A and B are shown apart, each in its own frame.
Chain A
C-alpha cells in the first residue's frame, strides 16, 4: 500500500499507518477501520519522548530575562539579576518562580540567528531553514511528530498540537502532521461532539453507512487521496470517541493546579501541554504573544509579560519534574529573535537576531548550565557561538531522532532534518 501522504523517501510505511488503528470505537466502526489496523504491538517500550515549545511571539527581550547586563550603562535597563537554583546562573528579578526551577533548565546566551524579520525569523526558528521559494520545510515539531508519534500504535490524539497559535505547517510531510490547533486552552474544541439528537446508536449507524461508501470507492479507485480521506476520518473519529477526548477540558484539574499555572491563556496552555505530553503527544507548542516591545519594553515586561511567563513556565517545569515526565520531555523557550541591546527613544528595544538567548532542558539533557556568553554590552557573542542548526541538532539529538534523517522534497531534492549543525556537547554530548 502506498503511504497516505507524500512520502518522504526512506520512511517506513508502517509508521504512516501505525496511528490509524482503532480501539475505542463501536463494532461497526471497528469493522470500518479494520483494514487500517497496524500489524504488531510493541510491548514494554519506554515512554517515547515529547517536546513542549514555549513560543514567545514577537521576539522576547532576552537581555531583560536571561542575559542581564547590569554593568552596561547604555544597554542594561532597570531590571536586576537574581540568583537561581542553578549555581552561578543569574536571571531577571521578574522571573522569581522560574529562578527556582533553573536547575532543570539551561540558558544558551550566544545564539546568532541572522533573521530580523518576524515572518522569516519565525520560519527559521521553527524549521531550522531560511524561507526558500522552492520548498516549504516542515516545522521541526511536525518532523518530531512524524518520526516519533507516527510509530505509536493505538494512539487517539494528534501527535502535533499547537495552542494559542496555528504553529508552523508540516510542509511536505502533509496535513496529518500539521499542528492540531487549540485556539483557546480555556475553551472547548469546535465540533468535537455530534449534535445532541445523534446518539451513540445513530453515530454508529452513520459510520457504518459511511464505511460502505468509502470502502467501495477505495475498492474501485485505489488511489492515495481516497485512502487518505478515510485515514483522516479514522483519526478524527478516534479522537471523538477517545477516552482522552476530555483531555482538552481543564475543568477536571484541581483549582490549586489551575491557579499554580495561572488561568491566563499562556498558563492554561502550559497546563494543557502537560496533560497532552502525559498522554504521549509528541509535540506541543504553547504560544504567548505581545513580545514585540518597540516601546515601553520595561513596563510591558514587568507588569504583563514576565508575570504570566514566569508563572506558567515555572509551574510547567516543576510539574513535569514532579511527575517524572521531565526526563522524557524536552522543554524549549524561544521566539523569532531577541531584542536590541540598545534601548530606543521610546524605552523600547527593537529586533535583534545577532546574539540572543534561548532556554532548553529536560529529555535527559544535562541541566543547570549556561552555554555561551555575550559581551559586556550584550552586542557581540563573546563565547561559544551557537547557530540555529546547532540548536536544531541539539533538540533532534535530545529527542533521539536520527541525526542523519533525510527526506526527499516533492521536487526531488534532499532535505536533511539537521543540515550542518552540531549538537551542543555540554547538553547532549
Chain B
C-alpha cells in the first residue's frame, strides 16, 4: 500500500521536542495559503489514490450482502453520485456549471477524478473544519472566551494540508498558548467546567470512540469499564492553567484579549463519589490501564496525547474510520458512532477492520480514507430501492441511505443554487450572516448523531417555504440565479427548455425527466411573463425532499 500522505512537519514531535511542532504549524499555514490563493487545482487524476481504490473493501461488503440475501441497489447514476460527493466532501451541492462539467466528462475513472478534484477544492477543508468545529465545541451555547473562528481556521489549515489525523488529534489534546494564536487551544478551554468532566467525556468519544461518560457515576453494566476508568482519564486534566490576558481597548477600557492555556506539573488527583458513598481517588490512568510514570512531574496532557495517538493502539484509528464512514454513509459500522466496544459489536466487521488497518498503515491519511470510502460499492450504490421489500432499510449499506442535510449544508446549498447573497455585484456578507443565524437557530439541534432520519419541524418548514432567504432567493433581482438564468435563456435557441433545465440542474443536480420538462415548457411557451411561474417551480424544487435529503 503506497503512502500518499503529504509530509508536513516532523511526526517525531509527539515524543517530546516541541520545536518541530511549531515548525510544522508554520509549514502547514504556508502550504494552505498556496492552496487557497492559487488557481483552482486541476484534477490530479489517477496519479494519486484512485489507482488503489477500495479493492479491499468490496469483497467483504459483497460477501455480507450475499450472506444476508440482500439484493444491493443498482450503482448510483452519475447525477446521484455527483450530488452526494459534493455534499459529503464540500458541504454543498454542485453549481450548474460544476454539475454539467462532471456529467459531460468521459472515462471509467471520472468518479475517482471527481473525488480527487473535490479533495483539492477550497471548500473541502472549509466543510470538514465546520463539521469538526461542531463536534469539538457543539452547536449550542458557548463558554465565555472561546474563539470558535480561531479553532475553525486552525482546523482548516490542518485539513487543507492533509496532516496525518493522529498529529491533528495530538495537537488538539495538548494545545497550549494563546487561544487566538493557536486555535486548537479553544477545544480544551471550552470544556473545563465541573472538573473537566465534559472534556473527559468528549475527548474519549471523539478521539477514542469510547463512551466513558456512563461510568462517571457507576461501573458499566455491559462492559468492563469501571468508574475509576473515567476518573483516571479525567485526572490527566489536572494541572491546567487558564489565564485571561487583558488589554486596554480604544476607549481605554480593559477587556479580555485572549486566553493563555498552559500545563503545570501537579500532584493532584481526581476525587469522585462511589456508589457505596465512599470517596474514590484517581491518578492519571489511560483506559487501557496504562499509567504515567511520575505524574507529579509530567505534563499530563502531553502524556494523554501520546497515549491517544499511540501507534500500538487502534482506538483512535477505529474512532476516526467509524466516524468517517458514518459521515459518508449516514451510519457507522458501530452505532452510536462513538460507542465502540465489546458490548456493541460492529456490522460488517471484516470491512471495518480492513479499513481501520489500511488507514493506520497509510499514516492516518484522511484524504486517502475518503478515497477508499467513496470508491467502495456501498458509497457507489444508488439510493433507489431495488424492489418492494419487507424491510427496505437494511443495516449493511446495500442501499444508500437518505440523509437530511445538516443546517450548514442546507444553507450553503441554498446559496449555491440561488445566489441569493449576490444581488447586484459582489456578495452581501452581512445579509448572509443574518440568514445563517436565523437558520442555525431554527435548524440547529446540538450534536445529533442520528443522521438517517428526517426530523424537520413546522418552524423549519415555514422558514423554507416563506422565510426571508427563500423570498430573496426567488426575487429575481439582478445577480441572482433566476435573473442570470433568464438572461441566458434569452440568448438560447429554446429559451423555455433551457430555463427548466437550468432550474432542475441548480436545485437537484439533474435534468428534468421528459414528463417534468414538457408541461413546464408548454406553460412557458404560452405565457409571456415567465418569472412568477419560474419562481414557483424553483420554490417547489428547493422545498422538495429530493433537495433536502442527501441521496
Residue positions of A touching B, CB distance < 8 A = 2, 5-6, 133-134, 158, 169, 174-175, 178, 180-181, 189-195, 197, 202, 205-207, 209-210, 212-214, 217-218, 220-226, 228-230, 232-233, 235-236, 239-240, 410-411
Contacts and interface: CB of A to CB of B under 8 A. Distances in A.
Given A209-B539, A221-B551, 16 more contacts: A5-B453, A134-B211, A174-B453, A190-B463, A190-B467, A207-B540, A213-B540, A217-B546, A217-B549, A221-B385, A222-B392, A223-B402, A229-B404, A229-B545, A232-B454, A233-B461
A206 B466 contact: no
Contacts of A233: 456, 461, 465, 543
B465 A236 contact: yes
Contacts of B216: 133
B532 interface: yes
A212 B516 contact: yes
Contacts of A218: 545
Nearest to A230: B545
Contacts of B388: 222
B536 interface: yes
Contacts of A239: 458
A192 B536 CA distance: 18
12 contacts: A175-B455, A180-B457, A180-B459, A190-B462, A193-B466, A202-B532, A206-B536, A209-B537, A213-B545, A213-B546, A228-B454, A236-B461
Contacts of B403: 225
A62 to B, nearest CB: 28
B452 interface: yes
Contacts of B546: 213-214, 217
Contact of A191 (B211, B385, B455, B463): B463
Interface string B170-203: 0000000000000000000000000000000100
Give the interface size class of chain B: 35 or more
A210 B543 contact: yes
Interface in B451-492: 452-463, 465-467, 471
B229 to A, nearest CB: 15
Contact of B458 (A134, A212, A222, A235): A235
B392 A190 contact: no
Nearest to A195: B471
Of the listed residues A175, A206, A236, the one surrounded by the most CB atoms of chain B closer than 10 A to its CB is A236
B402 A226 contact: yes
Contact of A224 (B201, B453, B471): B453
Nearest to B519: A212
A133 B214 contact: yes
Contacts of B392: 222-223
B544 A214 contact: yes
Interface in B346-405: 383-385, 388, 392-393, 401-404
Contacts of B201: 133
Nearest to B507: A213
B541 interface: yes
Contacts of B471: 195
Contacts of B304: none
B536 A205 contact: yes
Contacts of B543: 206, 210, 233
Of the listed residues A180, A217, A230, the one surrounded by the most CB atoms of chain B closer than 10 A to its CB is A217
A226 B457 contact: no
Nearest to B404: A225
Given A133-B211, A225-B403, A174 B458 contact: no
A175 B456 contact: yes
B213 interface: yes
Kindly list the 8 A-B residue pairs having the minimum CB-CB distance in the complex, ordered from nearest. A209-B540, A175-B455, A225-B454, A236-B461, A191-B462, A229-B545, A228-B454, A213-B544
Contacts of B450: 6, 410
B548 interface: yes
B452 A225 contact: yes
B376 to A, nearest CB: 20
A225 B462 contact: no
Nearest to A226: B545
A86 B290 CA distance: 66
